[in-house]
């Protein structure tokens, strides 16, 4: 079944540790995104990529980095995790056209202690 796969499903991480959240899509979508979702704040864009080889900063990029080496994969790295990065992280993709909706992965629940 075509879609987006995120890993891990959940993770507890000690503050200061490095962590990479994985995201893979098999829909050949051009654009990919990382959002975090926090209670009362909704989904906030961290980083995005309009096409392989390019990335851009979203609303809350600090403390996160991404790469887009190919069309399918868009990993999100926390270089040195802090408790404020405790959240649910959603990866999404779209065809990249104006009216194309986002397709979301099932999310990664990250707790930084």
Shortest CA distance to 63 belongs to which of 4, 13, 97?
13
Residue position matching structure tokens 């507890």: 12
Q: Among 11-19, 39-47, 60-68, 73-81, which window interacts with another protein (CB under 8 A)? A: 39-47
Nearest 5°: the CA angle 41, 45, 48 is 170
Binding residue for another protein (CB under 8 A) from 70, 106, 111, 113? Answer: 106
Q: Among 17-25, 43-51, 61-69, 79-87, which window interacts with another protein (CB under 8 A)? A: 43-51
Shortest CA distance to 60 belongs to which of 24, 40, 98, 33?
33
Binding residue for another protein (CB under 8 A) from 25, 64, 105, 108? Answer: 105
Q: Which residues bind another protein (CB under 8 A)?
A: 33, 35, 40-45, 48, 58-59, 90, 98-99, 101-107
């Amino acid at each position: 079944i075509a879609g987006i796969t995120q890993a891990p499903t959940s993770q507890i991480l000690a503050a200061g540790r490095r962590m990479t959240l994985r995201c893979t899509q098999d829909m050949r979508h051009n654009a990919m995104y990382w959002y975090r979702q926090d209670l009362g704040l909704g989904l906030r864009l961290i980083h995005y990529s309009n096409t392989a080889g390019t990335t851009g900063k979203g609303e809350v990029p600090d403390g996160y980095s991404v790469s887009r080496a190919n069309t399918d994969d868009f990993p999100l790295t926390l270089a040195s995790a802090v408790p404020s990065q405790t959240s649910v992280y959603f990866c999404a993709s779209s065809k990249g056209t104006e009216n194309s909706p986002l397709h979301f992965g099932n999310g990664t629940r990250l707790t930084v202690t």
